[in-house]
């Protein structure tokens, strides 16, 4: 993580806070990272993709900029026709569409505005 101690051997408080935030995020989104594999197309802009070991479940992890947008967009790793796209942290099914190779997923209106990233799950990509 690149966190080194101060001269007195303690970890700086801002690093502790950041590591705690990462831990909280991983507690609710970890299944999109732990025990997964990359996909053939593993990256598009601010979105990275993983998949379950058997390849049946895909995950899209989208890094957010300054604020949470109304929707997120990525190219490639298209959810299978008729499948749902879920927000990993809540399991909530989200409205989505695909046009060509572009996937657009609308976020819930009540989502926290201070999240650094979101993780989505969906069944098999085309």
Give yes or no for residue 60 having a pLDDT over 80: yes
> What's the average model confidence in pLDDT over 55-79?
91
Fold of 13-123: Immunoglobulin-like (2.60.40)
What does the CA dihedral 38, 40, 43, 44 come to, rounded to 10 degrees?
A: -150
| Of residues 121, 107, 103, 119, the one with CA closest to residue 62 | 119
Q: What pLDDT does 1 receive?
A: 67
Instruction: Tell me the chain's radius of gyration from C-alpha atoms.
Output: 16
pTM: 0.88
């Amino acid at each position: 993580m690149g966190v080194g101690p101060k001269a007195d051997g303690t970890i700086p408080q801002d690093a502790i806070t950041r590591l705690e935030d990462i831990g909280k995020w991983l507690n609710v989104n970890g299944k999109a990272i732990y025990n997964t594999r990359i996909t053939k197309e593993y990256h598009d802009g601010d979105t990275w993709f993983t998949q379950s070991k058997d390849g049946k479940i895909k995950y899209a992890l989208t890094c957010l900029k300054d604020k949470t947008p109304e929707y997120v967009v990525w190219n490639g790793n298209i959810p299978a026709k008729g499948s749902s796209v879920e927000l990993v942290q809540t399991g909530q099914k989200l409205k989505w569409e695909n046009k060509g190779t572009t996937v657009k997923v609308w976020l819930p209106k009540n989502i926290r505005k201070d999240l650094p990233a979101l993780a989505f799950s969906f069944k098999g990509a085309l």
